[in-house]
Amino acid sequence: DAGVTQSPTHLIKTRGQQVTLRCSPKSGHDTVSWYQQALGQGPQFIFQYYEEEERQRGNFPDRFSGHQFPNYSSELNVNALLLGDSALYLCASSLRTGGSETQYFGPGTRLLVL
Amino acid sequence: DAKTTQPPSMDCAEGRAANLPCNHSTISGNEYVYWYRQIHSQGPQYIIHGLKNNETNEMASLIITEDRKSSTLILPHATLRDTAVYYCIVSGNTGKLIFGQGTTLQVKP
C-alpha cells in the first residue's frame, strides 16, 4: 500500500518564476492538505482540499493556489516566487470521517528560490 | 498560534523509556491530541492520537490526564533512531494541524 507521494523531490527556481508541486494521497484517502516548512520551523498550514474544492486556508497570499483532481491527487502552485518561498513543501492526506482525521505526510518537495 | 507547550529539548539514554510532556490547557471537548515526529529533512511521521483515554500502539503510548490539560508520549525503549523532533498537536475535526516548535529528543548511547 503506497503512502503519500510527492514530486519532484527537489526543485530550484529563480525569483518571479512559477512552480507546480504534485501530491498523490495514500490509497483510500480523499482529503489533501499542504504545508510549508521553513528551515528550523514547524510546518505551517497552507490549505486543504476536499471534493475538489479548497475547504480551509491558512495565512498565505493568493500567490499560493491549488487544485484537487477527481482521483484525489493535488497540485500546489506558487506564482511570482520570492526568496522567502524557499522551504520544504509537505503534502498530507487523510480520510474525511467527521471524527478524528489522521493526516499522513509525504516526504516533501524542497524548493530553493534563487 | 499553537495550542500546546512543549520543552524545547530532552535527552534520553538508549534502551530507557523516553517520556515527552505536552501542555494543552485550552483544549476543547472535541479536540484530539496528536503526536508526530520528524527526522531531519523528512516528512512528519504520525505516531499516535487520543481524545481522553490512554492509547497504545506499536510505536508508543499516550497518557492523557483526566482533565485533558496535559499529556505524555512514552517511547518504551528508545533507540538511536528515535532521535527526532516530536510535535504535540491539538486538533478538532477541521483537519488543520498547527505545529509548534516541538521537542527535540536526543537519544544517547
Contacts of A66-74 with C-beta under 8 Å, sequence gap 24+, read A66/A34, A68/A32, A72/A25, A72/A29, A72/A30, A72/A31, A72/A32, A73/A22, A73/A23, A73/A24, A73/A25, A73/A32, A74/A22, A74/A23, A74/A25, A74/A32, A74/A34, A74/A49
- Distance between CA B87 and CA B97 in Å, rounded? 11
pLDDT value, residue B13: 97
**What integer is the mean pLDDT of A58-85?**
97
Check pLDDT > 90 for residue A29: yes
Interface test with A, best of B96, B98, B103 (most A CBs within 10 A): B96
- Output the 3-class SS for A42-109: CCEEEEEEECCEEEEECCCCCCEEEEECCCCCEEEEECCCCHHHCEEEEEEEECCCCCCCCCEECCCE
By the 8 A CB rule, do B106 and B84 touch? no
B contact set with A (CB within 8 A): 2, 32, 34, 36, 41-46, 49, 51, 87, 93-102
**What integer is the mean pLDDT of A20-25?**
98
By the 8 A CB rule, do A106 and A51 touch? no
Percent of chain B surpassing pLDDT 90 = 85
Say if the Cβ atoms of A100 and B41 lie within 8 Å: no
pLDDT value, residue A2: 76
Q: Does A47 touch chain B (CB under 8 A)?
A: no
Q: Does A66 touch chain B (CB under 8 A)?
A: no
Mean pLDDT estimate for chain A: 95
- Distance between CA B102 and CA A93 in Å, rounded? 21
- Distance between CA B23 and CA B4 in Å, rounded? 5
- Is B9 strand, coil or helix? strand
State how far residue A26 is from chain B, nearest Cα, in angstroms: 13
State how far residue A22 is from chain B, nearest Cα, in angstroms: 15
State how far residue B24 is from chain A, nearest Cα, in angstroms: 17
Contacts of A102 in chain B (CB under 8 A): 34, 46, 49
Contacts of B39 in chain A (CB under 8 A): none
pLDDT in tens, B40-64: 889 999 999 999 989 999 999 999 9
Q: Does A95 touch chain B (CB under 8 A)?
A: no
pLDDT in tens, B21-36: 999 999 988 899 999 9
Check pLDDT > 90 for residue B93: no
**What integer is the mean pLDDT of B79-95?**
91
